[in-house]
Structure 1
Amino acid sequence: MVKIGYTMMTEQAGPRELVSHVVGAERAGFDFSVISDHSFPWLDSQGHAPYAWSVLGAAAQATSRIPLMTYVTCPTFRYHPAVIAQKAATMQLLSGGRFRLGLGSGENLNEHIVGAGWPAAHVRLEMLEEAVSIIRAMFEGGYVSHHGAHFDVENAKLWDLPSTPPPIGVAVSGDRSCEIAGRDADLLIAVAPEAELTKAFAAHGGAGKPCVGQLPVCYDPDRSAAVARAHDQFRWAVGGWEVNAELPGPAGFAGATEHVRPEDVAEAIPCGDDVSAFVEGVRPYVEAGFTEVALVQIGGDHQEPFFEWAEKKLLPALREL
């Protein structure tokens, strides 16, 4: 049975609201939760970008059951991998073992703020691979020194180390990232229901490990209102990640999506309150071999009605999958 998760979308709500949302998700019966880690929203209409790690700490204290996970953190530009290791170890302790560390090669949208430039994709993957090795070494305990192609670590040590380190997930979009994930990660992360990704992950050593996908949805009893909201805040999602990873700010995303129509968004994102449409949105992930799917309810001030509907109608239907 596929596990159904909830996304704390930092681009569409403030920090206190995000904590309230994950409490609502736990109450509604979602199996796990994830959180985006951004310094910018994709579009100005989303309007938020609080610090995800502070939200996670508060969420760990406000909830008692629901697992927490970054989806995803880039450990190569804004954050040094040694700092990520400390953050993740602390979160694992605060949450009582409910935390998973999702990592990815990042987006220019968020990482440009430190002024380090934006190298080619293959370089970013090299950096991610090296960062994962540093984080793994620090999770093992003791002092760590490292002098690699992209990072230096000098006598680093985690003084508060959980007995079970947080599992590490790696976001994938092609064979090279699947190779890194299959060899070095405990789970796969992807935003497209492509069987090629899960198969490549398995072929590189990930067989039997969890595969976590994500699907934006827009619940509203008024379908036209749902489509309009999805178009206003999430039309960027119909583009490919090869392009999205390169754009430097919300103005770039606004320009790139200028000609995306509401009907284009409605074809890609389940909108309204037809349970079967949402089930059919999740089905391709299940058929592609994903074991978990995190839903994104579009609209920061439209979460509570979604939780009520999900608890009564959506989650029971999805668990039939």
Structure 2
Amino acid sequence: MTRFGYTLMTEQSGPKELVRYAVSAEQVGFDFEVSSDHFSPWLTSQGHAPNAWTMLGAVAHATERVDLYTYVTCPTMRYHPAVVAQQAATLQILADGRFTLGLGSGENLNEHVVGRGWPTIQRRQDMLKEAIAIIRELLSGELVDYKGEYFQVDSARIWDVPDVPVTIGVAVSGERSLEAFATASDHMIAVEPDGKLVDGWHGARQATGLAGGGRVIGQIPVCWDPDRDAAIKRAHEQFRWFGGGWDVNADLPTPAGFAGATQYVTEEDVAESIPCGPDLDAIVEAVSAYWEAGFTDIALVQIGDEGQDEFLANAAEPLLAKLREAAD
């Protein structure tokens, strides 16, 4: 059965608002909630970037049912993998077993702030693979000493280990990342409805004898609003960065860079790629590409802090009903 989630978009809302939205999203029936993990917003018009882990700790206590994901955390530069392991273990305890650690190779936008430069994609993926090995070892609760090519861990131990093990999802986008992470992860994360990618992930795992059943988690932006023109304007102001593709988005260092890179993206361009306005059927049609591609979990991004309460109060329940009926 396809599950539908709500995105806690840290780039567009403050921490108190995000916790409040998380509670409302659970109440209206979303199955899970994912949180971005950013140091900066993509565009200055979004205007926020609270710490995702602090916020998720509050969400874990404010909610009771929904699963929680980081979507995604980069455990190689801004955070050392040992710190991520400790954060994940603690959050899993606070969430009573509802947390999944979503990891990725990161974006320059967030990781350059610690002054370590920005490695090539191959190096970032190698660092991520090593980080995952460290995180898994630490989550066992055993004393860990590790010396690799990129990271060193000296006499480290996670003292508060959750009863429910933390599973790991990894963001993939092509054959190289599939080869690196299909067998290192429990779940697959992607932002495009690519059925070949899903098949490749399952195939790579089966080829090494790993058990099936892992989740395939996707995400899609929408901009619901009673006024379609207002929705298009808001989507253009805050989400036109999305059209650059991850090859570009991973390398730009600042919100100003994203503004410059998208200065020629028009409102019409955004409206063609993101369902905008009150038409719930148009949103269902856009989301359907994900379950048709084999995704098991699909998170919606309702664009903009403005209108978030109205979306949750008036559109979310009927939209979820339509999505579940169509995906059944």
- TM bin (shorter chain): over 0.9
Q: Which amino acid aligns with 2:300?
A: L
CA distance in structure 2 between the partners assigned to 1:92 and 1:176 by the alignment: 30
Count of residues in correspondence between the two structures: 321
Quote how far apart the aligned CAs of 1:310 are. Answer: 3.5
Quote how far apart the aligned CAs of 1:259 are. Answer: 0.4
- The answer on 1:219 being equivalent to 2:219 is no
- Structure 2 stretches lacking a partner, 5+ long: 207-211
- Report the equivalent of 2:129: 129
CA distance in structure 1 between the partners assigned to 2:223 and 2:102 by the alignment: 24
Counterpart mapping for 1:267-286 below 5 A: 267-286=272-291
Q: Is the 8 A contact 2:29 2:317 kept in 1?
A: no
State the Cα deviation string for residues 208-266 of structure 1 (Å, max 9, x = none).
31100000000100000000000000000011100000000001000000000101101
- Report the equivalent of 1:265: 270
Q: Secondary structure at the match of 1:16?
A: helix
Q: Secondary structure at the match of 1:220?
A: coil
The equivalent position to 2:259 in structure 1, one of 254, 259, 265, is 254
Quote how far apart the aligned CAs of 1:287 are. Answer: 1.1
- Report the equivalent of 1:72: 72
State the Cα deviation string for residues 153-192 of structure 1 (Å, max 9, x = none).
0011000001222110000111121223320111000011
Change (3 A) 1:180 1:309: farther
Q: Secondary structure at the match of 1:216?
A: strand
State the Cα deviation string for residues 289-320 of structure 1 (Å, max 9, x = none).
10110000011132111112334310000001
- Structure 1 stretches lacking a partner, 5+ long: none
Q: Is the 8 A contact 2:70 2:102 kept in 1?
A: yes
- The answer on 1:304 being equivalent to 2:309 is yes
Q: Is the 8 A contact 2:139 2:161 kept in 1?
A: yes
- The answer on 1:181 being equivalent to 2:181 is yes
Overall identity of the aligned pairs, in %: 58
- TM-score (norm. length: structure 2): 0.96
- Report the equivalent of 1:140: 140
- TM-score (norm. length: structure 1): 0.98
Moved more, 192-201 or 289-298: 192-201
- Report the equivalent of 1:232: 237
Q: Is the 8 A contact 1:67 1:99 kept in 2?
A: yes
- Report the equivalent of 2:153: 153
- Report the equivalent of 2:209: none
Q: Is the 8 A contact 1:45 1:232 kept in 2?
A: yes
- Report the equivalent of 2:5: 5
CA distance in structure 1 between the partners assigned to 2:315 and 2:139 by the alignment: 37
RMSD of Structure 2 on Structure 1 (CA): 1.0
State the Cα deviation string for residues 29-62 of structure 1 (Å, max 9, x = none).
0000000000000000000000000000110111
CA distance in structure 1 between the partners assigned to 2:246 and 2:222 by the alignment: 18
CA distance in structure 2 between the partners assigned to 1:89 and 1:23 by the alignment: 22
- Report the equivalent of 1:92: 92
CA distance in structure 2 between the partners assigned to 1:24 and 1:179 by the alignment: 39
CA distance in structure 2 between the partners assigned to 1:177 and 1:18 by the alignment: 31
